[in-house]
Amino acid sequence: MTTEQFNQIKHLLPKAKNTGRPPLDNYRTLNAIFWIMRSGAPWRDLPPEYGNWNSIYHKFRKWCEQGIFINILRELNSSKSALIEMDSTYCKVHQHGFGARKVYGNQAIGISRGGKNTKIHALINDKMELLSFLLTGGEVFDSKVAVDLLKTVDLTDKTVLADRAYGASDIRDYICENAALSCIPDKVNSQIKHSFDKEVYKQRNIIERFFNKIKNNRHIAMRYDKLSICFLNFVVLAAIKMKLK
């Protein structure tokens, strides 16, 4: 991250408190977190020029719990768009991603044909801005969480674009009830056929390109985090990094 990029978001980061010891520099801390995200390396392998890895990790965890990164993303997403795209992608879970305490639940890790995975369900606009997303285990089918995901955004006068996996009647009904249009093809065996704009549907490549870009970060392409809150915030950070370019 350059200083010019940091200046765009530094006012959204918590100010250091005077605790008697020198505070961690926010600029260096963010660059350390981005290094971990890009490399996929363990926190203990953080180069010493970034500072103490344990201090930076605890600051990262604190910012995750406070929703700092999510607030930054909301501030950066300024463009208005009439198109919303919905899809999901799998992320293989590394062996180091297991082991969270059972009291915390499954941490969005499930078993599918590809083994143990986490699934990212996302909504973006045609500017490739991440509007909303959630994590599930890899065994959860796309249509099962589609309505819950759509409830997190205002659909009024929007067009929702998705592939045929989202062609269930309850999804179409929810979109229609919220004054939006659906651009979703029917499944091959569907008894009721719905029309959709084929020219608009050609833009579905945008969300595929979005997933490709965030997976350029090894910490997202393969999940190394035991806790879903950490992995979730790395996805948010990847979206922030795209916006700061």
pLDDT digits 0-9 by tens, 165-178: 998 899 999 999 99
pLDDT of 54 above 90: yes
> In which band, very low, low, confident or very high, does the pLDDT at 105 lie, cut at 50, 70 and 90?
confident
Lookup: tokens for 59: 């600051």
Q: What is the dihedral of CA 158, 164, 169, 173, to 10 degrees?
A: 0
Paired strand residues for 132:
123
Strand-pair category, 130-137 with 115-125: antiparallel
Report pLDDT for 58.
Answer: 94
Once rounded to an integer, what is the mean pLDDT over residues 23-40?
92
Distances (CA, A) of 194 to 161, 168, 185, 190, 191: 14, 11, 7, 9, 10
What is the Cα–Cα distance from 31 to 81, expressed in whole angstroms?
A: 31
Coil, strand or helix at 85: strand
For Cα atoms 5, 8, 11, give the angle at the middle one, nearest 5 degrees. Answer: 130
Where would I find the H helices in the chain?
Answer: 3-9, 26-39, 53-66, 68-76, 142-150, 169-177, 198-201, 205-214, 218-221, 228-243
Q: Are 142 and 171 in contact (CB under 8 A)?
A: no
> In which band, very low, low, confident or very high, does the pLDDT at 227 lie, cut at 50, 70 and 90?
very high
Once rounded to an integer, what is the mean pLDDT over residues 70-83?
88
Report pLDDT for 15.
Answer: 83
What is the Cα–Cα distance from 217 to 26, expressed in whole angstroms?
A: 21
First and final C-alpha spacing in the chain: 9
Q: Is the pTM of this model over 0.85?
A: yes
